[in-house]
Structure formats: structure tokens, C-alpha cells
């Protein structure tokens, strides 16, 4: 399962409303690359396939789900900036910025 915190959910709703996106899903995934091997993908998609996994309006393709099962998506605001953060229990290490990981 992939979960999204209440803070992240509010920020996603704000972005959808601000950009007038209509009915869209939050799509999360992984792709090869980044300084640790894999990097997270994050965006909006109005197309959900039969194979996509869905959790509370968050969708993920089956290959990415292998790496993201159990992950929580959060939103943080601090003096260093603001943005979405992935807490992934499957990652054995991640880079300093938190945008890439390895298993």
C-alpha cells in the first residue's frame, strides 16, 4: 500500500484546484537514475490503466509498486524549502536530497 499524509493530501488538492486540473489521480512511481540508482516520479494523470494499483486517489504502475509498497508521501515546509517527501521502507540508502534511493 502507498499512503499519503494529510498535509500532502491538502497540498495536492490545492495544486489541483489552483491549476484547474479537474478529476486527476496523483501518480507516483520510480525510474532508473539519480545518484542512488532509482529516482521517484510524481505527477498528475487523468488516465488510470487496468494494471495500476490505486490507493486513495494515488496510482502506481505495478513495476514501481515493487519498490514503493509501504511508502508514505508527505509534504514538508521548512526554512530549507518546501516539497513532497517519500518515506520508503524498501530503500536501503538514499541520497542527501531524498529524491533518489537504492534497494
pLDDT per residue of the chain (103 residues) written in tens, 0 to 9? 999 999 999 999 999 999 999 999 999 999 887 666 788 899 999 999 999 999 887 999 999 999 999 999 999 988 777 889 889 898 876 655 555 566 7
Q: What's this model's pTM, rounded to 2 decimal places?
A: 0.82
User: CA–CA separation, 27 vs 46, rounded Å?
Assistant: 9
List, edge to edge, every strand of the sheet that includes 93-94. 53-55, 58-60, 25-32, 38-45, 100-102, 93-94
For every residue of 47-87, DSSP letters joined together read ---TT-EEETTEEE-HHHHHHHTT-EEEEEEETTEEEEEEE
Amino acid at each position: 500500500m502507498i499512503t499519503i499524509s494529510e498535509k500532502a493530501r491538502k497540498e495536492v488538492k490545492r495544486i489541483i484546484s489552483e491549476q484547474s486540473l479537474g478529476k486527476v489521480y496523483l501518480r507516483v512511481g520510480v525510474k532508473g537514475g539519480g545518484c542512488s540508482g532509482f529516482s521517484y516520479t510524481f505527477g498528475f494523470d487523468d488516465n488510470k490503466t487496468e494494471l495500476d494499483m490505486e490507493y486513495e486517489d494515488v496510482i502506481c504502475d505495478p513495476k514501481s509498486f515493487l519498490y514503493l509498497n509501504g511508502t508514505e508521501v508527505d509534504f514538508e515546509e521548512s526554512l530549507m524549502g518546501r516539497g513532497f517527501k517519500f518515506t520508503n521502507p524498501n530503500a536501503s540508502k538514499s541520497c542527501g536530497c531524498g529524491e533518489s534511493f537504492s534497494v
